[in-house]
Amino acid sequence: MTRPDTKTLLASLLADIERRNPAQPEFHQAAHEVLETLAPVLAARPEYADAGLVERLCEPERQIIFRVPWQDDHGRVHVNRGFRVEFNSALGPYKGGLRFHPSVNLGIVKFLGFEQIFKNALTGLGIGGGKGGSDFDPHGRSDAEVMRFCQSFMTELHRHIGEHTDVPAGDIGVGGREIGYLFGQYRRITNRWEAGVLTGKGTRWGGSAIRPEATGYGNVLFTAAMLRERGEDLEGQTAVVSGSGNVAIYTVEKLIALGANPLTCSDSTGYVVDDKGIDVELLKQIKEVERGRVGDYAARRGASARFVAGGSVWDVPADIALPSATQNELDADAAATLVRNGVKAVSEGANMPATPEAVHLLRQAGVAFGPGKAANAGGVAVSALEMSQNHARTVWPRARVEEELTHIMNGIHATCHETAERYGASGDYVTGANIAGFERVADAMLEQGVI
């Protein structure tokens, strides 16, 4: 039998993905971004194509959709939709966060779960890829309403998860409060103290040090590694950061710790520019304690800070850009502005925040670009470290977790850089991350047979 050439094979696979998964543009985008870099791998390793590995990798092992009914504080009944996509378990139990946001649908969850396969593989730890969530919006809801929703959500989800099966964590809209309510309901239903079933737990009852900080910290560490590869460091560099949630806050904190000057933060109302650099403690107070808006930060910070309603945070000139909010927030126009303003590095703290057109433009301009599946893997890496601590019923000191995270992020950078070199794409972290993650999962799948 004559094999089709790899480009023809991949084009056919992409067309098939779009046909079989209609109205899921984010999943199509994620699949295209990975598959378009795999031609040299499939040419060098034809056994991957012969075993149908790419086809199997692009089809989730399991997709779960369920109803989530709950009552608000006035007794009114609401019905949301819950999702869990268990994408690939070749390397270990499914691992990936839960997102509570009105935009959540099956296509969003599949895009996130697909990315998670490669991200988790790059950590070198024994975790597969999955993702989940709901179109529930926790904003403006009381603690009691959030608790009732989480309890209803877990009442269905609990039958599909477990520390050796699927281990969810947090994502947008799911922080320590939500993880606590979810774990409480899991424990209530199962009558088991299975600490390793969820990560992102409170540090007093099974959580790991620096888990909330890990994604933001990790992205800054990856950025620092990219700059070192070019003979520079973070000291004295200015940075523009989008978002003001968990990832953005701790991105700002780590930038400051490494001597950089973060100038911005943002939310759905607009963005803040602070000429003195973002005051991370004030930002934490407003966003984590008061659940306020970035406009409140500007009002309380003083003359150095100004709030810009709407607009684009990427209009602010800086040496480094760290998109840390949500998918497709940095488009081609924004990328062109960053390039004109002399940006040196762009690294994705959020999942797929740069559009394909933006990524192409940045790479073409010679900007060091860190794709999310590599750059924001710090969160899931520390989640896996939390699982290790839970399994041993022990707690590691903060310094040890930080040391492990630094080692993992530097290892991810080295793996991506070396893989790109090996396939003739020097300095292309997108190609390096995609191929390195794919090879690790594909080899495991090959050895485990057609399942």
How would you class 447 by CB atoms within 10 Å of its CB: exposed for 0-12, middle for 13-18, buried for 19 or more?
exposed
Q: Report the distance separating Cα 366 and Cα 427, nearest Å.
A: 9
Half-sphere exposure of 66 (CA within 13 A, CB side): 18
Q: How far is C-alpha 248 from the geometric centre of its chain's CA atoms? A: 12
Residues sharing a CB contact under 8 Å with residue 360, sequence separation 6 or more, in sequence order: none
Count the neighbouring beta carbons within 10 Å of the beta carbon of residue 282: 15
Q: Which residue has the tokens 């989008």?
A: 242
Q: Report the distance separating Cα 124 and Cα 440, nearest Å.
A: 9
Would residue 119 show up in a list of annotated catalytic residues for this protein?
Answer: no
Q: Report the distance separating Cα 189 and Cα 195, nearest Å.
A: 14
Would you say 35 and 54 are in contact if contact means Cβ atoms under 8 Å apart?
A: yes
Q: Residue 279 is encoded by which pair of tokens?
A: 């005051």
Buried b (16+ CB within 10 A) or exposed e, 333-370: ebbbbbbeeebbbbbbbbbbbbbeebbebbbeeebbbb
Write the DSSP assignment of 5-41 as a string of letters.
Answer: PHHHHHHHHHHHHHHHSTT-HHHHHHHHHHHTT-HHH
- In the set 95, 110, 131, 254, the catalytic residue is 131
Beta pairing, strands 320-322 & 238-241 = parallel
Q: What are phi and psi of 315, to 5 degrees?
A: -75, -15
Half-sphere exposure of 328 (CA within 13 A, CB side): 10
Q: What dihedral angle (degrees, nearest 10) is formed by the CA atoms of 444, 387, 189, 85? A: -40
Q: How far is CA 284 from CA 247, 250, 287, 325, 442, in A?
A: 12, 9, 5, 16, 41
Which secondary-structure segment (H or E) carries 264? strand 264-267
Buried b (16+ CB within 10 A) or exposed e, 105-124: bbbbbbbbbbbbbbbbbbbb
Residues with a catalytic annotation lie at 131
